[in-house]
Structure 1
Amino acid sequence: MSWVAGAERYYADFEPVVETLAGHGLSLHRADPSTKVDFITDEVLSHRLWHVCDEAGVTIRHVSGSPVATEANDFMTVIASETGDVVFMTPNLLYQAAAFEPMIKWTLINRAQSPGIDDGDMFLCNDPWVGAVHQNDVAVFAPVFHDGKLFCWVGASIHEVDVGGPAPGSFSITARDVFEEVPPLPPVKIVKNFEIQSDIEDLYTRRSRQPLLLSLDLRAQIAANNVARSRILEAIEKYGADTVKAVMGRVMDRAEAQLRARLRELPDGVWRHVDFQETAFAGDRGIYAGRLELTKAGDHLHFDFTGSAAQVGLINSATSGTRAGVLAGILPLLVGDIPWALGGLQRCIAITNPRGTMLNAEYPAAVSMGSITGTWLAHNCAHAAISKMMLCHPEHGRRALSGGGGSWPAMQLFGWDKTGYAFVTQFQEANLAGFGARSFADGVNTAGAYCIPSARIPNVEATEFTWPLLVLCRGEAIDTGGAGKWRGGAGGKFSFVLHKTNRNFTHVSAAFHVAVPNGGALSGGLPGASVVYSMQRDSDVLARLAQGQIPQEIASLSGTLDILPPKSQTEQGRDDVYAITFFGGGGYGDPLDREPESVLHDVAEGFVSRAEAARLYGVVIEGGAVDRAATQARRTIIRADRLGGKVPVARRDTPAAVPEGGIGLNDYTMLASRRLTCRCCGQDHGPADENYKLALVMRTMPIADLSPTMADPADFIDEPVEFRSFICPGCGTQVETEVALAREAPLWDVQLVH
C-alpha cells in the first residue's frame, strides 16, 4: 500500500497481510482462545490496564512544557492490541484516539519489512492520509514485545502549537492544497533500540518555530510510552501473557456486546442532520454543507455522509478524521457508561464517506485545519443525529444533549517577549464554550468541548506569566446560551492587551460557525450564539489602565471596532484590544415553556438580558420580579403570532404520555398508529412515512436575530441562510428548529420505522 493511498484501504488489506508478517521477521502474539480468566482477575487486570493508560497521560502532563497539554489536556494516550485495535484510552482529545488504529495498521503493512518493527522502536506520524486528524496532532506509538513476539502497542499524541508551514501555528488559512501547508510525515522510526534517532528528530523539529518545545513534547510522548510499556510488561510478568491478552480481548468484546444491547433497545429508523462550514480559505465567501444520514437497524449503526460538499480550501479532513469525529460523537452520548474500547465499539458501526468531499479529501487537499473543520463538522452531525435517536427512547433520551461548541475557534499567536524571544502559542480559552441543554436541565456554562471530556482552561496567572500579555476579562457572556425550556450553557468572553513587549503580535484566527450557528438544538430549542472574533483598534485602553480601570467590555473603549472574518491573519498593536466571544450551547424545548422564575434567575445572574427575556422567553420582569399576568399575556401573543394571528387551542399542562407501542420523537411529538401527533394538544402532524415538518407552520428568522451577539451572515458569506422554527398549527408550540440554506426544503430529520 502506498502512503498516498492512505488509510481508506487498511481494513480490506490488513488481515491477509498479518499472515505474511512472519516472513519479515515479525511474529504477533495472538490471543489463545482457550485461556480461562476468572471474574475477579478479569476485573482487577482490566482496571489495572486502564490505570496504566491514565498513568501515561499523567506522564505527558508532567514532562510536556506546552500549555496545550499541561493546562488544556489536548492530548491522548492509548493501549492497542497487536493489530492496532484501541482497547484503552484516556478521556482527553477523543479525536486523537481514533487515529491510532489506522496508523498502527498502516505501519504493520508498510514498515514491517523496511525499516522493520523491533523491540525498543517508536514511530512518529502526523499524516492525515495515514490516520492523523491533521498535521498538528503528532502521534508517537511503540510496539511492546514479549518473548520475541509483538504483544501490543502503546501510543501518545499531542496537539503541537507549531510544526512548521507558512503560518504561525501551522494553520495555513490561505492554502488550497497540502503543498501550501506543513508537509505531513508518514510513520517514521523516531526511536530505535530505545535511542532517539537524532537525524529524524532534526528533520522533525527543524520545520517548527518552536523547536525546543517540540523536542520537549517528543520526550513527553516517549516517556509516556515507556511508562505504559513497562507497566504492561509488569502485568504480563505477574499474570502471564495469555491472561493479559485475553482480558484485553474481553474488554473489547464487552464493549461491543453492551453497545449492541443498547442499540436493540432503541427504535429502528433514520435520523438526518445538516451542518455548515463557511469560508474555505481567507477571503472566500462560500458556505459548505456536511450532510449525514444515520440509519439504525437492530444492533448496527450506519453513518452515511453522501451529499456533503466537495473538498475545497483548507476546511477538509481525510477519511480518518471523519471516522474520528463520528466515534467522538458516539462516546460521551451513547456509551458514556460503557468501556471506551474502540476496537470493540466500532464493530457495530459502518461509515459511508464518498471520496473527494470535504469529509474524505483526496491527496493533495489542504487539511491543516482538519481537526477543527472537517472532523469537527462530522462530530457535530453525528452528535445531533445520535441525540435525536436517543430522544426516541424514554430512558436513553435523558442523556441526549443539544449541540454546543460548534467548532474550535483557533487563536494562534506569534510574537516576541521582552527578552526578544520569539514564541508561538495557541490559546486554550476556546474551552469557554457552553454545553448544550439536556432534556431535563440547562446546559453547563463555559464547559468546553464535547470531544475533550477532561478539557480545562489555563489559569490566568499562568497565561500572563508565560506570555507578554495582560488579560482584561474572562467570564460568561450574556445572551449566548440558546433559548429553550432548558437553556443552553452560556459561552465565555476573553480579551487582552499586549504587555511588556515593544513589538506587535500576529494573530491567526480560524473557525467555522462564525457566520452561522451550530444547528444542533433539540426539541424546539434555539441554537447558541456563534463565535465572534474582534479587535478594538487604536483604543484608549492604556490610559484607562493607567487610571486604575480594567475595561471589561471593548464597547466601553474609544477607537474602531474591527470584526474579524472566520479565517484571518492580523496584527495587534499596543493600543489594540483583542476580544473573542465563544459559542453558547443550544437550547432544548420551546422557550415559552421555560419556568418564568428560571428566566428571572438568568437575568439576575447575567446570562440573559431583560430584553431577550421578553423577546425569546415571553417573560416580563418588573421591579426585580416576574409579572405573572403580563408574562402569560405576552406568551399567548407570541404563540398567536407564530400562527399568523390565529388563536391557539388550549395546551395540556404536561405533554401526553406515549401510548403502549408508540414512540415519542421528543417532548412535543409522538408516533402512534402510524400517525404523528402533538403531545400538547393532539393535533395531527401527518403520517409516519412523510416529513412531519411539512404539516407544521414554518416561520423564518434572520440568523442575526437569534442573539444580540450574533453577526449578520451576509458579512461573511454570499449564500442566504435562515433560521426556521416549526410550529404546531393547533397550539402554537415550537416543535423543532433548524438552520438551513434558504433555497432548500425543510430537512426530514426523524424518520422512524414503525
Structure 2
Amino acid sequence: MTTTTEHDPVAVEIHRKALENIVNEMAITLTRTSGSPVVYEVQDFATALLDRAGEHLAMSSTLVFHAGSSLMGTRLVIETLGDGEVRKGDGWILNDPFEGGALHQADVAIITPTFYGDEHIGWAFSNVHVADIGGSGVSGFAPSATSVYEEGLRFPATRIIENGVLDPNWERYIANNVRVAPLVLNDLRSMMAASNVAQEKLSAVVDRYGSERFREYCEINKSLTEDTLRSRIELIPDGTYHCREMVEYDGQGTDEVLDVTLALTIEGSQMRLDFEGDDQITALINGTTGVAHGWAMVALLTTLAYGDVPFNAGMWRPITIGLGRSGTIVNAEPPAPVSGAHGTAGLAILRAIKGALNQAFSLSTDATIRSRVGAVGDTSGPLTPLAGVGRGGIPVVVFFMDAVAGIGGGAQSSFDGQDLYGSSTTLGVSLASIETNEGNNPALYLWRRLVKNSGGPGLYRGGQSLETAFSLYDTDLVQGALTMAVAQEPANGVGGGLPGGNGLVKAIHGTNVQERLAARQQTLEATIEGTTPDYPSNVGHFVARLGDVVIMRGGGGAGLGDPLLRDPELVARDVADLYITRQNASAGYGVALTDAGSVDVAATASLREKIRRERIDGEPSLPQRAPVDAGIAMVENAEGWSCASCDSQLAVLGENWRAGAVRRTTPAFERLAELDMWTRPRKEAESIRLTEYFCPSCAAALGTDLHQADAEPTPAVSSGV
C-alpha cells in the first residue's frame, strides 16, 4: 500500500475532477455526433483517458465493463508500436476480443495519443457498439456461428488514422463489409471527434498545472484510490470464498449448461480471483481476458467502491485475476466464437464474484461492509438484432435494447431492488425513447410494461423488469437473430431471499395486427392472433415479416432476506399496485388478503406458521426473529455457524453450515411456478435445481443455491489463507 500525505488535497481533487470532466465531455461528443440510437439514446459506449504507460486516469460511467477493454486495448497499441514513433494525429482501431481490446466484435474502439506541445503524455480511448460489424450476425451477435471467423470483422490494433484523417482504403473496406455503412463510418468519426475533444481539453489542464505537476497529481490520485480500496479489502476476513455459476446455450440443437467456478481469496489488502470454466464450445458464449477483467471491475465498483471511490489505475492494483487453463469458457482460444461472451460467460463471472463477496462481507466486523451484502439483478435481457430494408428502400438495423435497460435490480440490505435497474455495468445506459425507435425503424411498439412477479420475494423484494412488444411495420421482411443469454438460471437470492423471474424472447407470426391497426382497434396481447413457435432462447436465422410481433422481457432482481419477515402491508401494497399477484403474495410471502385487498391479519399469521412447518416438515422448536443485519442469515462465532434468527448452531468451524440445515431441492422452474413466476425449463436434460436451506429450529430461510442436478453444494469458507 502506498501512503500519500504530502499534497494539497483540494488541488489534487480539482485536478481529478478536471480529468473526469474531460471523459464526460468525450461522452457528450459521442452522443451529439453519432447517428445511431444505440449511441445517442441508449449510450452503449465508453470513454477513457490513460497515461503514457497505459494506466487509467479517468473513465466515463456509461458502460463500466469497458474498464477492461480500455486498459488492454491501449496496452495493445503500446505493444504494437514497440519502439516506433508516437505521432500526433494518428489513431488505431481495434475490436479483437482475444487480444482483450473489446468484449465482442461490435465494440469498436478508436485509440489516439494525446500530446502537450510535442510531448506525448497519454492516450484517449473511445468505444462504441456499432450498428453492425458484418459476419453472420446482425449488430455483432451471431448465435449460429460455430467459429469466430463467422462473427464479423476483427481488427487487431491497426493504424487507421494518419494526420487526423481516416484512411480511405480502410474506410472503403469497412463499408463493403457491414450492413449499414453510413452509421458505422459516422460512429468512427464520432470517436475521432471525441479524441479531438480530449486533446483540446487535456492541453488546457496541463497548461494550468504544468506537465510535471500534472503527472504528480495523476500519481497521487492513483495512490489515493488504491489506498482507499485496500483499506476496505482489509475489513474483509482473510480466507477463500467459493461460488459457482452457470452459462447456458441452446441455439445449435443441444441445450447446454456449463459451469464457471470462482475461488476468491482475501489476504490482507489483496484480493485474488481464480476462475475455472468448462471447456469452450462452438457457440458465442466463450469468454476472454477482456471480458473477465471488465466484469471483475464492475463487481468491485458496484460493491466495494460504489460511487465514492474515483476510478483510475489505483483500482486495479489490489486485484489479481487468474483464468486457469486456456481453452475454457472463461479463457477461450481461437477459433471459438465469442460475440455473446459479455452477456453469458461475463455475467457468470460477475455473479460469481458478487456471490463470493456476499459471503465475505457477511463475516466482516465492519457494519458498513456487512451492509453491502446485496442480491443480484444481473440476469439477462433479450436482444433481437434484425436487418432489412426500411422506409424509402434504405437499409436498416432494428436493434432495440429496451430489455437490457429493463432488467430488475437485486434487493439491497435496506431497500427493495430498483425497477428497470439494468445490468450492473450499464450505469449510464438509458431506456430509448419509443418515438426515436419508431422514427428510425420499421416497427411499431404495442406495449412497454413492468412484469408482474418478476422481482424475487424477500424481506426486501427484487426489482421488477420490463417487457416490450413491437410489430414489424412498413417493411416486408427483416432477418437476424433472437438471443437470450440467461433464460433457465434466475438471479439468485441472498440471506433467504428467493430468485427473481427470468426473461424471455418470443415471436408471433402471421398476426392480425395490421388489420386491427387499420380498424383503429387497440392491440393488446390477448387480442393478437397468430402462430407462436416454440423457439429456443437463441435463434441464429430468424425471419420476421410485416405484422409479425416480437416480445422481449428482461429478468427480475432477486430478493434479500426471508420473505416471511416482510411487512404484510408492503405486500398488500404491491398487490394493489399490480407489482405482484395474490398467488405470489400467498405462496411467496405468506400473506393472505381480504376480497377488498387489505391484509387478513389472522389468516396471514396462520399461513406463515403453516409455511414454516412445511419448510422443516415439523413444528419449529424456537421462534424466528429478524436477523440483526438484513440479508445475513448465518453468523460465525467461536463455536461455529449459527442461525441469525434463533442462535441455533448448525455446524462447527471448518464445516459447511448447509450440512446442518434442512434442504428442499426442486427444479427451479417448478418452484418459481408455485410463486406465479417464470423461468424456462430445460427440454433435453434435467432442469436447473433450486436448493433452499432452512434452520431446523426456527424454520428461517437461510439461503439458496442454483445448480445443475448432479452438482455438489457450495463449498464452505476456508478461514485463513
- The verdict on how the C-alpha distance between 1:340 and 1:550 changes in structure 2, with shifts beyond 3 A counting, is farther
Which position in structure 1 is the counterpart of 2:635? 670
Counterpart of 2:355 (choices 374, 377, 384) is: 384
Contact 1:74–1:159 (CA under 8 A) maintained in structure 2? yes
- Cα distance in 2 for residues equivalent to 1:228 and 1:37: 26
Superposition map of 1:37-76 within 5 A: 38-76=8-46
Which region of structure 1 is more displaced relative to structure 2, 382-391 or 473-482?
Answer: 382-391
1:710 aligns with 2:678: yes
1:571 aligns with 2:536: no
Contact 1:515–1:711 (CA under 8 A) maintained in structure 2? yes
Contact 1:437–1:587 (CA under 8 A) maintained in structure 2? yes
Q: Which amino acid aligns with 1:473?
A: W
Q: Which amino acid aligns with 1:290?
A: V
> What secondary structure, in the 3-state scheme, does the structure 2 residue paired with 1:43 have?
helix
Q: Tell me how far 1:284 sits from its aligned partner.
A: 2.6
Which position in structure 1 is the counterpart of 2:508? 536
- Cα distance in 1 for residues equivalent to 2:416 and 2:49: 36
Which position in structure 2 is the counterpart of 1:504? 477
- Cα distance in 2 for residues equivalent to 1:124 and 1:36: 40
Superposition map of 1:22-421 within 5 A: 38-113=8-83, 116-131=85-100, 132-279=102-249, 281-354=251-324, 355-393=326-364, 394-421=367-394
- The verdict on how the C-alpha distance between 1:308 and 1:386 changes in structure 2, with shifts beyond 3 A counting, is farther
- Cα distance in 1 for residues equivalent to 2:522 and 2:564: 38
Structure 1 segments (4+ residues) deviating >6 Å? 33-36
Identity, in percent, stands at 27
Contact 2:669–2:680 (CA under 8 A) maintained in structure 1? yes
Counterpart of 2:652 (choices 680, 687, 711) is: 687
Q: How many residues of Structure 1 are paired with residues of Structure 2 in the alignment?
A: 709
> What secondary structure, in the 3-state scheme, does the structure 2 residue paired with 1:561 have?
coil
- Cα distance in 2 for residues equivalent to 1:425 and 1:35: 53
1:697 aligns with 2:662: yes
Which position in structure 1 is the counterpart of 2:711? 744
- Cα distance in 1 for residues equivalent to 2:4 and 2:449: 57
- The verdict on how the C-alpha distance between 1:34 and 1:607 changes in structure 2, with shifts beyond 3 A counting, is closer
Instruction: Output one character per residue of 1:82-139: Cα deviation in whole Å (capped at 9) or x when no partner.
Output: 111112000111112221222222222222456x431211111001122211111111
- Cα distance in 1 for residues equivalent to 2:717 and 2:630: 8
Return the TM-score normalized by structure 1: 0.90
Which position in structure 2 is the counterpart of 1:24? none
Contact 2:496–2:631 (CA under 8 A) maintained in structure 1? no
Superposition map of 1:641-656 within 5 A: 641-644=614-617, 646-655=618-627
Which position in structure 2 is the counterpart of 1:728? 695
- Cα distance in 1 for residues equivalent to 2:484 and 2:231: 38
Instruction: Output one character per residue of 1:114-167: Cα deviation in whole Å (capped at 9) or x when no partner.
Output: 6x4312111110011222111111111111123533211111001112111022
Q: Tell me how far 1:348 sits from its aligned partner.
A: 0.4
Q: Tell me how far 1:212 sits from its aligned partner.
A: 0.5
- The verdict on how the C-alpha distance between 1:107 and 1:670 changes in structure 2, with shifts beyond 3 A counting, is same
- Cα distance in 1 for residues equivalent to 2:337 and 2:33: 32
Q: Which amino acid aligns with 1:551?
A: T
Q: Tell me how far 1:198 sits from its aligned partner.
A: 1.3
Q: Which amino acid aligns with 2:317?
A: R
> What secondary structure, in the 3-state scheme, does the structure 2 residue paired with 1:614 have?
helix
- Cα distance in 2 for residues equivalent to 1:541 and 1:750: 56
- Cα distance in 2 for residues equivalent to 1:361 and 1:699: 36
- Cα distance in 1 for residues equivalent to 2:716 and 2:153: 40
- Cα distance in 2 for residues equivalent to 1:168 and 1:563: 22
Contact 1:688–1:751 (CA under 8 A) maintained in structure 2? no
> What secondary structure, in the 3-state scheme, does the structure 2 residue paired with 1:379 have?
helix
> What secondary structure, in the 3-state scheme, does the structure 2 residue paired with 1:698 have?
strand
- Cα distance in 1 for residues equivalent to 2:322 and 2:130: 30
Which position in structure 2 is the counterpart of 1:26? none
Q: Which amino acid aligns with 1:625?
A: S
Counterpart of 2:531 (choices 556, 560, 563) is: 560
> What secondary structure, in the 3-state scheme, does the structure 2 residue paired with 1:647 have?
coil
Q: Which amino acid aligns with 2:335?
A: P
Instruction: Output one character per residue of 1:244-300: Cα deviation in whole Å (capped at 9) or x when no partner.
Output: 111111111111000001111122232222221211643231111111111112111
Q: Tell me how far 1:589 sits from its aligned partner.
A: 0.9
Which position in structure 2 is the counterpart of 1:443? 417
Q: Which amino acid aligns with 1:597?
A: E
- Cα distance in 1 for residues equivalent to 2:139 and 2:42: 16
Q: Which amino acid aligns with 2:406?
A: L
Contact 2:388–2:395 (CA under 8 A) maintained in structure 1? yes
Structure 1 residue runs without a partner (length 5+): 1-32, 658-663
- Cα distance in 2 for residues equivalent to 1:438 and 1:749: 24
Q: Which amino acid aligns with 1:360?
A: N
Q: Which amino acid aligns with 2:395?
A: A
Which region of structure 1 is more displaced relative to structure 2, 229-238 or 741-750?
Answer: 741-750
Counterpart of 1:634 (choices 600, 607, 616) is: 607
Which position in structure 2 is the counterpart of 1:19? none
Q: Which amino acid aligns with 1:201?
A: E
Q: Which amino acid aligns with 1:631?
A: T
Contact 2:460–2:559 (CA under 8 A) maintained in structure 1? yes
- Cα distance in 1 for residues equivalent to 2:547 and 2:74: 50
Q: Tell me how far 1:690 sits from its aligned partner.
A: 0.9
Contact 1:275–1:518 (CA under 8 A) maintained in structure 2? no
1:583 aligns with 2:551: no
- Cα distance in 1 for residues equivalent to 2:60 and 2:412: 25
Instruction: Output one character per residue of 1:359-413: Cα deviation in whole Å (capped at 9) or x when no partner.
Output: 1101222112222222222122223222332333421232333111313422212
Contact 2:413–2:630 (CA under 8 A) maintained in structure 1? no
Superposition map of 1:586-601 within 5 A: 586-601=558-573
- Cα distance in 2 for residues equivalent to 1:171 and 1:226: 30
Aligned Cα root-mean-square deviation (Å): 2.1
Q: Which amino acid aligns with 2:580?
A: V
Q: Which amino acid aligns with 2:515?
A: A
Which position in structure 2 is the counterpart of 1:29? none
Q: Tell me how far 1:75 sits from its aligned partner.
A: 0.5
Which position in structure 1 is the counterpart of 2:453? 479
- Cα distance in 2 for residues equivalent to 1:606 and 1:190: 53
- Cα distance in 2 for residues equivalent to 1:561 and 1:126: 37
